[in-house]
Structure 1
Amino acid sequence: MTVLSAPAIETRRAQTRRRELGGFLRSRRHRLAPADAGIVPGPRRRTPGLRREEVAAVAGVSLTWYTWLEQGRVGGVSRQVLDSLARALRLGPDEHRHLLELAGEPAAEPRAPAGASREVRDLLAMVEPNLAHVVTRCFDLVAWNAPVEALFRGMPEWPVPDDPNVVRMMFDVPGMRALYPDWEAEARWLTALLRNEAGRQAGNPRFQRLVDGLNATSPEFREYWSSHDLTPFTPSERRFRHPVLGEVTLRYMKLNVESDPDQSVIVHYAPPASAAAAALARLR
């Protein structure tokens, strides 16, 4: 079996991306009607969609260069040219993002976290009295149900601040240390989850601001982050300390939101007929 070196693997990946980029551009060019680009088609037009020279003219690049780009023979395309091609091909936001990813360019800074959809909010209510909340890949807190609010209500810092973030709250909100009996283990685990996202979020200014801010304000986060420990999300158990209920151990799991890949629903739940279930019923 032939073992490729790291540079050879990277070269192969770059070649694959260039081929995928060329195929994507061709597919969008073929799908765009000339009239959509302000072009009046002639009587003998046989090319489906736009011709290469038409895309090149609208995007402001040479025909030869654009031809090479579709053929996978060009690397290192600038962000300005990619944005121009996106406009020329009338790409939507998801298509524009895909174009940038294929070219190895970081996407534009994501919008502020979108609110949870009606269906997701219905789910949050349906799982009560279990705790459920919605987070993004940057761990921004998007929505939560009534039991979550009841759990946190004993904290003097509740309600949460503007633009809440789960990781930032763990380190910056003093009440979190009382809520979690194993605060250090929880904080290390959450930092490792965040570190696990670092590769996917490379070039995301929102993610980088979160990390930079925590490094600047929290010596503990700075220590945990510098260890480079990472962990994927796996279902397990967490302990909470509530001023009325005492200590409660809950299981937790994550559900991905298919309509918004940036969002996930985190559910903390108690097995039926357990002491924890009875405690959650009192919490509600």
Structure 2
Amino acid sequence: MTTAADFRRRELGAFLRAIREHVDPADFGVVTTGRRRTPGLRREEVAAASGVGLAWYTWLEQGRVQTSREVLEALARTLRMARDERRHLLALGGYVADDAAEDDGAVEWLRPMLDSWPLTPALVLNRRYDVLAGNAAYAAVWPEPALSGRPNLLLTLASSHRLEEMLVPEERFLYELFLRFRVRADRYPDDSGVMERLRELRPDLDHWWSCRAVREFGSWPVTVLSGGHRLRFTCSLLQPDDSTTVLVQAPADVETRRWVELRSSA
């Protein structure tokens, strides 16, 4: 009987073979003379460049063996895989792509979208809800978390007295985010970064965790007090992939839109 693990191993092997056969050997410094029987790189060329044995690599492409994250990372580097290809390779191997390079790649491809929302505060978060980037509208409305140093949004909301005074009611924003974070934490128990953030949050938010409430989709309202103004936003979380979240805060009335526009252009 074919198991899910068997299926993933076969898919991983087929994926490696497809990538290997579609690369140009000249791009990898391989000098070719005459016609090669194998399109792209040969197995022995990939194995040697990745520091693994030819027999082991052959078995990997045949879906006969499971391998470590380190080997998959080496193969991804050897084959110069793009971000999405590397993430797919790791997922087929049963690993979560959660390193700094992954975060940087998310910011790079989402930055144009953030900057196209001049009146809508928005943040890019990773799976741990660390703040990776934000736009000018966010900086105009929110004093923290800062857009540098990659602070954690949940930890900041749970500990900031300034934000506590700005938010009406102060717990709603944090609670809605926590419900969605709980979904991620339950689905990725092997992600050490997620579990580390959870341990940091648990002392203050244990009552929320114990009730096991979750929410994955849907928007919620938030009111922010700033400079004597009551700003109203509708918040939503977008998930362009399984490791990245975009927090969008759309102005809910004309007064809020005008205020954000004035502050963003100041």
Could you say which TM-score interval applies, normalised by the shorter chain? Answer: 0.7 to 0.9
Matches within 5 A, 1:178-257: 178-199=165-186, 202-215=189-202, 219-242=203-226, 244-246=228-230, 249-254=232-237
1:269 matches 2:246: no
Matches within 5 A, 1:6-21: 12-21=3-12
CA distance 1:40–1:121, shift in 2 (3 Å): closer
Matches within 5 A, 1:25-64: 25-43=16-34, 45-64=36-55
State the alpha-carbon separation in 2 of the partners of residues 42 and 91 from structure 1: 26
Secondary structure at 1:46 match in 2: coil
Post-superposition offset of 1:201? 5.1
User: Are the counterparts in 1 of residues 168 and 222 from structure 2 also a CA contact under 8 Å?
Assistant: no
1:278 matches 2:255: yes
State the alpha-carbon separation in 2 of the partners of residues 174 and 183 from structure 1: 10
Post-superposition offset of 1:181? 2.8
Post-superposition offset of 1:67? 2.4
Q: Percent identity?
A: 33
User: Are the counterparts in 2 of residues 109 and 205 from structure 1 also a CA contact under 8 Å?
Assistant: no
State the alpha-carbon separation in 2 of the partners of residues 83 and 279 from structure 1: 47
CA distance 1:82–1:178, shift in 2 (3 Å): same
CA distance 1:25–1:207, shift in 2 (3 Å): same
Post-superposition offset of 1:104? 1.0
CA distance 1:205–1:124, shift in 2 (3 Å): farther
State the alpha-carbon separation in 1 of the partners of residues 237 and 96 from structure 2: 27
Could you tell me which residue of structure 1 aligns to residue 164 of structure 2? 177
Higher Cα radius of gyration: 1
TM-score (norm 2): 0.76
Could you tell me which residue of structure 1 aligns to residue 117 of structure 2? 124
1:86 matches 2:90: no
Please say which of residues 23-32 and 261-270 is displaced more in the overlay.
261-270
Post-superposition offset of 1:61? 3.5
> Between Structure 1 and Structure 2, how many residues are aligned?
256
CA distance 1:194–1:42, shift in 2 (3 Å): same
Q: One-letter code of the match for 1:15? A: D
Secondary structure at 1:119 match in 2: helix
Please say which of residues 44-53 and 88-97 is displaced more in the overlay.
88-97
Secondary structure at 1:237 match in 2: strand
State the alpha-carbon separation in 2 of the partners of residues 116 and 143 from structure 1: 13
State the alpha-carbon separation in 1 of the partners of residues 114 and 172 from structure 2: 30
Post-superposition offset of 1:269? 1.8
User: Are the counterparts in 2 of residues 115 and 143 from structure 1 also a CA contact under 8 Å?
Assistant: no
Structure 1 or 2: more helix by fraction: 2
Secondary structure at 1:50 match in 2: coil
1:119-151 CA distance string (max 9 Å, x none)? 3354231xx3xx4122213333321434x5554
1:36-72 CA distance string (max 9 Å, x none)? 4444435452221123333334434443332222122
Please say which of residues 177-186 and 188-197 is displaced more in the overlay.
177-186
Gaps of 5+ in 2: none
Q: One-letter code of the match for 1:221? A: L
TM-score (norm 1): 0.72
User: Are the counterparts in 2 of residues 59 and 88 from structure 1 also a CA contact under 8 Å?
Assistant: yes
CA distance 1:182–1:116, shift in 2 (3 Å): farther
User: Are the counterparts in 2 of residues 181 and 241 from structure 1 also a CA contact under 8 Å?
Assistant: yes
Q: CA RMSD, aligned part only?
A: 3.5
Gaps of 5+ in 1: 1-7, 271-275
